[in-house]
Each structure stands twice: as structure tokens, then as C-alpha cells.
Structure 1
Amino acid sequence: MADIAALTALVEPLVIARGWELVRIKMTTGEMGKTLQIMAEDPATGQLVVDQCAALSREVSELFDEVDPIEEEYNLEVSSPGIDRPLTRAKDFALWAGHKAKITLTDAIDGRKKFAGTLLGLEGEAAQLRLEDGSEAVMTFPIDAIHGAKLVLTDALIAATQPQSLN
């Protein structure tokens, strides 16, 4: 399996050179074989459009043809994070405070690994979530204990991610 840290070291400078931010690099295995997913965003919009994804895909393909960092066969997917985006960086938990999210932990807390609720932001290096399981409890999860997190598609999230008018 490819080393994600090494792939990040190769890809991130290409993303930064375009003035964008790398959201995540992930290798998955599915029906179509292995897929290397590179997710990036323009900080001005929180998204990439199709032409931006295509340009980055071409650039990454050219670089990977030269350095060949992945031994096995794979498909390359370059995408924008989308509306119900993954939360991969500490700043994502602060930026999207007030929106609904799902968090999965690496290790269980009181027999649970999965939590859903409203993001409250960051407390130091930990994400805070108000649970919506009837308890309304506030949980704090160290960022490094989070296996995966993503926003939940809601009307409020759709409204918050609409392109802003230039008027």
C-alpha cells in the first residue's frame, strides 16, 4: 500500500502552488480496484470546479509518471470536498461550527465509536460536539482520536455553501 505521508509530500506542493489547500489524500479499494483520492479546495470558495480538478489531475499524473510512487495499479480521483465534506484538519472543526456532523473515533468511549450532533468548534486540539441522541451532552474528542468525520447534509449547510454574489 502506498505511503500517504510520502504521497502528501509530493502532491501538496502542487496544490499550494495553485493557491489551494489539500483537504486529504486517501487510498481506497473497491469494485474498480484501488483508487487514490486527492481532495483539494480553493480557500476563497471552499470548492474546486471541474476544470480545476482536471488541471490538478493532469499535473499529478505527470509527476507520478516521473517518480512512480505507487507500485500497484490504481485509479486517480481528484475532487472537491463537496457540501457534506470530510473534516480532516483541526481548522475544519472550527470553521464548520454550528453545523451537524458525524464523528467516528479510533477507539470506543463508553462502548461507542460513532457520534452525531452539532459541531461547537475547537477546544485546544479537540473537537467539541453537542450530541443529538436525546442527551444534548457536549463531548470533546482529541483530533488525533478521530478516525473520520464529515458534515451532514442539511438545509442550513446548503445555504452556507452557496456561492456568494459579487454584487
Structure 2
Amino acid sequence: MNWQAVVEKTVTGLGYELVGCERSAGGLLRVFIDKPWVAEPDLSAPVNVEDCERVTRQLQYVLEVEACDYERLEVSTPGLDRPLNHAGDYARFCGFEIEVTLREAFLGRKKYKGVLGAQPSAEGEAAAAPEAGAASAWRLTFNDGKQDQALDFQLDEVRSAKLVPVIDFKRGAADKAAAKNKDKAAKSSKVSKKKSNAKSRQDQELPAKAANDKVDGGLEQ
């Protein structure tokens, strides 16, 4: 297996979600992890330092066994501007403010920032957030300076997407903000609909280099 496959198999095998991984020219290997999505808010919990330490120890062992070349390892959360990489991420963060970059410009621009929601049904009824991985059609509600508008898009039209950072240290603030944004999205008064351009789219003894590795618990999202 190549190093990406080794990292993904190890992280998912421990029960975490691999959000991303990258390796620099200097041999630094960065791994970003998250807890799997749980629909019930009371059962969800952010990644903490202990989670990062657990993944770090296991990766150090497996990378050594698989002879994957690296100089230093960093395991952390994806941060407040977490990327949305697949359909499950869109379902997970439905109701949150995100920034989307389209593959092709629409109305003269590629970047849009607004509240993520599911597209309503053909009869105009508001759609509830779908189950993870169950939908590829989404709606971004934003304000053009005059009124709320909405951009409908397919996932295969998106080049990249990420959460807009929200810093609020009050417990439950993120959930309240998401609920407020969902209400706002449902009341969108004008739609600029974008047609789809494409339909397809063992804890073991640590190796010597462990002393240089880094664990970062990150900030709670």
C-alpha cells in the first residue's frame, strides 16, 4: 500500500474519520482527523488531544512496519475551516455557513459564501437535511446586499468547499447558529438556480522518530 492508503486504513480502523492528509517536501506528514458524524447532537463529541495521541501512536507503528518514509508526523483536528470533501460532509453540516468554489464561473464568479441547505422538492416544499451520502443536490442561501438569494448546485460542480469559521466559546452556540441558519435558508425569497453542468462526478513500541512527532488537539468546532 502507498502511504495515503496506510494512513486512511489506520485512522478508519481506529474508528475515526480521515479528513485529509498531506506530506511536505521536507518529510513532514500531516494528518487531520475527526469523529464520525452522529445525527444526535448529544452523542457527538469533538476530537481531543487524547484522540490525536492515540492515532499518532498507531500511525507511528504502522508507518514503520509498512516502511513508509517520513521525517515527522503531526496529527490534529481539521480546524474551524474544516473542508467538505464528500456528500456525508454536506449532510453533516447542513445549516452551517460555508464557502464554495465552483469549477466553472456562474454569473461571473466562482466563489460563494452562504448557508448550506438541501434543495427543496419539485413541488417547492422545503427539504429536510438528508442522511449522510444520500444526496448530491444542495442549495446555498446568501445575501447579495439587497435580498436573500439561493444557488442550487450539484456536488460534481464544486471544486472545493469549507466551513466559515465561527468562534464562540459558549456551549451549544454552534447548534443554535445552525438552527438559525436553517430557518433563514427556508425563507429565501429569490432563487438564482444553477443548472448542473455534469451529472457524473495495536499499540506497540514507538519508533525512534517519535520524539519529533506532534499532536495537536485543535479547537472545538
TM-score, length of structure 2 as denominator length: 0.56
Q: Which has the larger radius of gyration?
A: 2
1:93 matched to 2:90? The reply is: yes
Q: 1:57 to 1:147 in 2, by over 3 A?
A: farther
* Structure 1 residue 69: Cα displacement: 4.1
**Structure 1 residues not aligned, in runs of 5+:** 163-167
1:56 CA drift (Å)? 0.8
Deviation at 1:158, TM superposition (A): 6.7
Structure 1 match to 2:34: 41
Residue in structure 2 matching 1:109, options 84, 106, 123: 106
Among candidates 154, 157, 163, match of residue 151 of structure 1: 163
Aligned to 1:129: 140
CA distance in 2, matches of 1:152, 1:75: 29
Higher relative contact order structure (alpha carbons within 8 Å, sequence separation ≥ 6): 2
Alpha-carbon offset, residue 49 of structure 1:
0.8
Q: 1:21-60 counterparts in 2 under 5 A? A: 21-27=17-23, 33=26, 35-43=28-36, 44-45=43-44, 47-60=46-59
Partner of 2:117: 120
Aligned with 2:10 (options 14, 24, 35): 14
The share of aligned pairs that are identical, in percent, is 33
What secondary structure does 1:116 align onto? strand
Contact 2:137 2:154 in 1 (8 A): yes
Structure 1 residues 88, 27: closer, same or farther in 2, change over 3 A? farther
Q: Distance in 2 between matches of 1:88 and 1:144?
A: 11
- Cα offset, 1:34, TM superposition: 5.9
Q: What are the ranges of 5 or more consecutive residues in structure 2 without an aligned counterpart?
A: 37-42, 121-134, 177-221
> How far has the Cα of 1:102 moved from its partner?
0.7
The residue identity in structure 1 corresponding to 2:11 is V
- Report how far residue 92 of structure 1 moved: 1.6
Deviation at 1:75, TM superposition (A): 4.2
Distance between the aligned counterparts of 2:136 and 2:33, measured in 1? 22
The alpha-carbon deviation at position 120 of structure 1 amounts to 0.8
Which residue in the other structure is 1:160 paired with? Answer: 174
Q: 1:7 to 1:99 in 2, by over 3 A?
A: same
How far does residue 46 in structure 1 lie from its aligned partner after superposition?
5.0
Residues in 1 aligned to 2:72 and 2:104: alpha-carbon distance in whole angstroms: 31
SS of residue matched to 2:79 = coil
What is the number of residues matched between the two proteins? 153
Quick one: distance in 1 between partners of 2:27 and 2:110? 26
Match of 2:183 in 1: none
Distance (Å, rounded) in 1 between the aligned partners of 2:78 and 2:119: 21
Pick the structure with more strand per residue. 1
